[in-house]
């Protein structure tokens, strides 16, 4: 008797065909429906997913579907569409759109970010709060995969971009790089905008399967390419405020200064030599230093900080606006302040020859720079002199000029503080910063490096000293848990994988790193010393910072890895940072012997402040990138030496050494061979010629094109790197 022949049919796959039995197909159908919760599919759609084309196969699939419905494995709608009956696992999180092909959902409910295909985003946009159904399998065995089933909350409903108008309709191309849809605008929604204007558009209809997002123009920023229009576009892109509300400005103007009335409540330090040291273009002076020699030979150093919390009371309009902004934002050609000018540049600013209310950390220091006594409290000061960094540096170097003895004392102490800090494991995160020389219209006409000298380090060390000691003082005020609620600045230990990647990159320049836990800081400091003044300095310093965790605000004191401090806070800049305002209020609260406050409201403000800090940093980078593109647009047509700073499957990032501007050589422009991306080895390799381009390579490039709207610089190699195989 002949064996009964099993029924098989072909299932199409990307690379080859495999024969599968009905049981396998049943499992495939079950998993496909389960991984698409809330959706139903026709038999035709299921056949297409399976790759079934022949009639015999379709009949078998139809039979399997009927059988699965009858056995209660799947459901069927009245119009014969099939769906999963099994409830998937759901999580809630925020979308982080990486590129047009995929993104992630970041959730506290999952240790790993959830990988989402663009087609599974369900029209969610970057930053949206979404509900995600987890799929039944890991993506390539690495990450959990999911599908967005519902958009719970839209992150934003306005976007900045350039409007393009045709005869029947218009659309806005968003500046925001993670917005991958153009926004349709009917002609009646243009509000007077002209072709190529930079505008702000508000979404009136979110995207779905039948249409793109639709919107109306709410603000015209100016012509594309104009400095004001472009900077305003960046401000709108990051939802930065253009001005203070009228009622907030009025509230600020109503505040009166009453130094005499406050004297009974404060320590009077007006007679002690006091001065400020700030950048030349600074208008808000929020810190000052005082120096007084004591009879025992020690020095009393006062770190005096603008007493913003005296003027900005909890719950007021000014406080609500300050919380919302959380930080001042410094773009290339302007500052977007946290506080109105009446406060930031007048009442609170420690201007020369004026008495001011301050919150002070006062340290008695011996000849070794050790703190032998400390005092915290509210004070009144008189600033004798305003120094720029350049002014103070001249006095330090020459030993001549106003307050030369005081400056030399502070300089000596700052060197001892810095030396001790590095000995204890602090990392010297110095990066080469550049600033643009702008003409009267805001056009960049030059790029100059920011030079940090002893005067900068002097101020930095005393600010660090005050921040550290305030944090320690509050933490140690109670000897047992729960400690007093406070706002800390924390910095977690770096991710070992990121450090290893950085180590591989540094090795390409001939720098070997020892990555043992007890030597990371000393290894990095040694590296920074080695690369100072070398072409790779900026690249390595920047990548070292990127390999670190991001510092943040929280009510838990977990330490600061980069500074090697067990406890740290931000006390010294309340004019431009809201966490410092909270620190001042809490410090005074505990100095008044009051009980600990509730933690949750402060933790929420810490999270908000950290988010606002990131927004400010992103906006600042965007403004710098805009000026880089604008500068290179008009730069001399020539070859530039550069360093490969990034390698992706679509192009190679190169930083030009002369201008510190970064651009990309796109894969499609590399025509001498077909290049493939080797993710493991951070390189691309020519399929035929075996040429390899990898992180850290020195190359020569020319500017091929610039795009102001997208803030991109396209480069092309003017000489391909020498032929070589894998090292």
Q: Could you tell me the domains of the chain?
A: 9-84 (1.10.10.10), 90-153 (2.40.50.140), 158-237 (2.40.50.700), 248-449 (no CATH), 635-719 (2.40.50.140)
Q: What is the DSSP letter of 667?
A: G
Tell me, what's the pLDDT at 15? 41
Residue 5 has pLDDT above 50, yes or no: no
If we measure between CA atoms, which residue out of 451, 440, 448, 438 comes closest to residue 626? Answer: 438
- Residue of 475, 620, 497 lying closest to 555 (CA atoms): 475
Q: Is the pLDDT of residue 87 over 60?
A: yes
Distance CA 120, CA 396 (A): 62
**By the 8 A CB rule, do 9 and 19 touch?**
yes
pLDDT of 535 over the 80 cut: no
Q: Rg of the chain's alpha carbons, rounded to an integer? A: 31
pLDDT averaged over the chain? 89
Whether pLDDT at 343 is above 90: yes
Q: Which two tokens stand for residue 691?
A: 């040429």
Query: Quick one: 91 exposed, middle or buried, by C-beta within 10 A (0-12, 13-18, 19+)?
Result: middle
Confidence at residue 723, expressed as pLDDT on a 0 to 100 scale: 38
Query: Strands (DSSP E) along 337-388, which ranges?
Result: 355-365, 371-382, 385-388
Model pLDDT, residue 4? 38
CA 654 – CA 639 distance, rounded (Å): 13
The per-residue pLDDT for 361 is 98
Half-sphere exposure in the Cβ direction for 299 (13 Å, CA): 21
| CB contact at 8 A, 364 and 352 | no
State yes or no: pLDDT of 52 exceeds 60.
yes
pLDDT the model gives residue 627: 93
The pLDDT, as a whole number, for residue 142 is 66
SS3 call for 397: helix
Q: What is the pLDDT of residues 280-315, one digit of tens each?
A: 988 899 999 999 999 999 999 999 999 999 999 999
Say if residue 63's pLDDT is above 90.
no
Closest among 605, 637, 613 to 701, alpha carbons compared: 637
Distance CA 318, CA 22 (A): 69
Percent of the chain with pLDDT over 70: 94
- Per-residue confidence (pLDDT) for residue 647, from 0 to 100: 87
The pLDDT confidence band at residue 251, using thresholds 50, 70 and 90, is: very high
- Token pair for residue 516? 């043992």
> What does residue 292 show for φ and ψ, rounded to 5 degrees?
-145, 130
pLDDT in tens, 112-139: 889 998 988 999 999 999 999 888 765 4
- For 584, the enclosing helix (H) or strand (E) is helix 578-591
pLDDT, average across residues 183-192: 95
What pLDDT sits at residue 14?
A: 41
Residue-wise pLDDT tens digits, 589-640: 999 999 999 999 999 999 999 999 999 999 999 999 999 999 998 888 899 9
How confident is the model over 7-42, as pLDDT tens digits? 334 444 444 444 556 778 888 888 888 778 778 889
Distance of CA 554 to CAs 319, 323, 597, Å?
20, 15, 14
DSSP code at position 491: B
Decide if 172 contacts 230 (C-beta within 8 A).
no
State how far the Cα of 454 lies from the Cα of 396, in Å rounded to an integer: 8
- What does the alpha-carbon distance between residue 217 and residue 200 come to, in Å, rounded to a whole number? 6
Query: Which residue spans within 410-563 are E strands per DSSP?
Result: 434-438, 444-449, 488-490, 552-554
Best CA proximity match to 478, nearest among 594, 608, 316: 594
The model's pLDDT over 513-527, given as tens digits with 9 standing for 90+, comes to 877 656 788 888 888
- pLDDT (0 to 100) of residue 17: 46
How many alpha carbons lie under 13 Å from residue 123 in its C-beta half-sphere?
A: 11
pLDDT for the residue 268: 97
The residue behind tokens 């101020």 is 459
- Segment 549-554 shows an average pLDDT of 94
Q: Of residues 444 and 374, which shows the higher confidence score?
A: 374
- Report how far residue 602's alpha carbon sits from residue 486's, in angstroms, rounded to the nearest whole number: 8
Would you state the pLDDT for residue 3? 39
pLDDT attached to residue 657: 87
Contact call for residues 177 and 149 (beta carbons, < 8 A): no
Which pLDDT does position 7 carry in this prediction?
39
Question: Tokens for 300?
Answer: 């009393």
Beta strands 299-306 and 355-365 are antiparallel
Q: What average pLDDT does range 700-727 have in this prediction?
A: 76
Measured CA to CA, the distance from residue 276 to residue 384 in angstroms comes to: 8
User: Per-residue pLDDT tens for 421-456?
Assistant: 999 989 887 766 778 888 888 888 888 878 889 999
52/625 Cα distance (integer angstroms): 50
From residue 90, alpha-carbon distances to 93, 116, 118, 359 in Å are 10, 14, 18, 49
**CB–CB of 544/473 below 8 Å?**
no
């Amino acid at each position: 008797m002949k064996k009964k022949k099993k029924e098989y049919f072909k299932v199409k796959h990307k690379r080859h065909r495999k024969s599968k039995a009905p049981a396998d197909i049943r499992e495939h159908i079950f998993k496909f429906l389960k991984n698409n919760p809330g959706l139903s599919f026709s038999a035709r759609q299921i056949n297409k997913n399976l790759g079934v084309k022949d009639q015999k196969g379709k009949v078998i699939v139809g039979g399997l579907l009927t059988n699965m419905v009858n056995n209660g494995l799947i459901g069927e709608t009245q119009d014969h569409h099939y769906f999963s009956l099994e409830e998937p696992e759901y999580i809630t999180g925020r979308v982080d759109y990486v590129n047009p092909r995929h993104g992630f959902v970041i959730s506290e409910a999952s240790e790993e970010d959830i990988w989402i295909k663009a087609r599974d985003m369900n029209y969610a946009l970057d930053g949206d709060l979404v509900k995600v159904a987890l799929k039944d399998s890991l993506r390539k065995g690495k990450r959990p995969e999911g599908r967005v089933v519902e958009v719970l909350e839209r992150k934003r409903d306005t976007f900045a971009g350039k409007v393009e108008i045709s005869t029947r309709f218009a659309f806005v191309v968003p500046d925001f790089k993670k917005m991958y849809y153009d926004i349709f605008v009917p002609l009646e929604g243009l509000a007077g905008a002209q072709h190529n204007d930079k505008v702000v558009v508000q979404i009136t209809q979110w995207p779905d399967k039948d249409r793109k997002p639709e919107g109306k123009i709410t603000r015209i920023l100016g012509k594309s390419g104009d400095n004001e229009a472009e900077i305003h576009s960046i401000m709108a892109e990051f939802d930065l405020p253009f001005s203070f509300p009228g009622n907030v400005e009025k509230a600020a103007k109503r505040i009166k200064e009453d130094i005499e009335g406050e004297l009974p409540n404060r320590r009077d330090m007006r007679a002690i030599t006091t001065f400020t040291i700030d950048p030349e273009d600074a208008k808000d002076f929020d810190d000052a230093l005082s120096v007084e020699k004591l009879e025992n030979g020690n020095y009393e150093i006062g770190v005096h900080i603008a007493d913003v919390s005296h003027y900005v009371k909890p719950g007021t309009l000014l406080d609500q606006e300050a919380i919302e902004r959380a930080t001042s934002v410094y773009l290339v050609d302007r500052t977007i302040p946290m506080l109105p000018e009446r406060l930031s540049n007048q009442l609170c600013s420690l201007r020369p020859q004026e008495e001011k209310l301050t919150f002070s950390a006062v340290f008695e220091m011996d000849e070794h720079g050790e703190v032998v006594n400390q005092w915290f409290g509210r004070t009144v000061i008189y600033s004798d002199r305003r120094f720029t960094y350049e002014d103070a540096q001249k006095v330090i170097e020459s030993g001549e000029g106003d307050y030369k003895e005081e400056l030399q004392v502070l300089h000596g102490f700052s060197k001892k503080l810095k030396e001790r800090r590095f000995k204890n494991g602090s990392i010297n995160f110095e990066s080469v910063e550049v600033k643009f020389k702008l003409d009267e219209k805001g056009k960049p006409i030059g790029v100059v490096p920011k030079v940090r000298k002893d005067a900068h380090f002097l101020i930095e060390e005393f600010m660090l000293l005050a921040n550290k000691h305030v944090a320690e003082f509050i933490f140690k005020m109670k000897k047992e848990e729960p400690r007093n609620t406070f706002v800390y600045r924390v910095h977690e230990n770096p991710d070992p994988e990121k450090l290893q990647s950085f180590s591989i990159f540094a090795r390409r320049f001939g720098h070997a790193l020892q990555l043992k836990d007890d030597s990371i800081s000393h290894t990095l400091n040694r590296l920074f010393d080695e690369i100072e003044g070398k072409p790779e300095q900026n690249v390595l310093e920047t990548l070292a910072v990127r390999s670190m965790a991001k510092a943040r605000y929280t009510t838990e004191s977990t330490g600061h890895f980069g500074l090697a401090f067990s406890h740290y806070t931000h006390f010294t800049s309340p004019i431009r940072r809201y966490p410092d305002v909270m620190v001042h209020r809490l410090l005074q609260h505990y100095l008044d012997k009051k009980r600990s406050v509730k933690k949750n409201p402060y933790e929420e403000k810490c999270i908000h402040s950290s988010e606002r800090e990131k927004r400010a940093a992103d906006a600042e980078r965007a403004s710098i990138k805009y000026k880089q593109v604008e500068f290179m647009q008009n730069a001399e047509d020539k070859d530039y030496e550069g360093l490969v700073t990034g390698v992706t499957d679509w192009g190679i990032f190169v930083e030009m050494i002369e201008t510190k501007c970064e651009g990309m050589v796109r894969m499609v422009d590399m025509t001498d061979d077909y290049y493939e991306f080797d993710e493991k080895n951070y390189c691309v390799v020519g399929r035929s010629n075996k040429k390899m381009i990898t992180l850290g390579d020195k190359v020569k490039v020319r500017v091929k094109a610039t795009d102001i709207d997208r803030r991109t610089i396209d480069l092309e190699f003017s000489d391909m790197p020498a032929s070589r195989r894998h090292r």
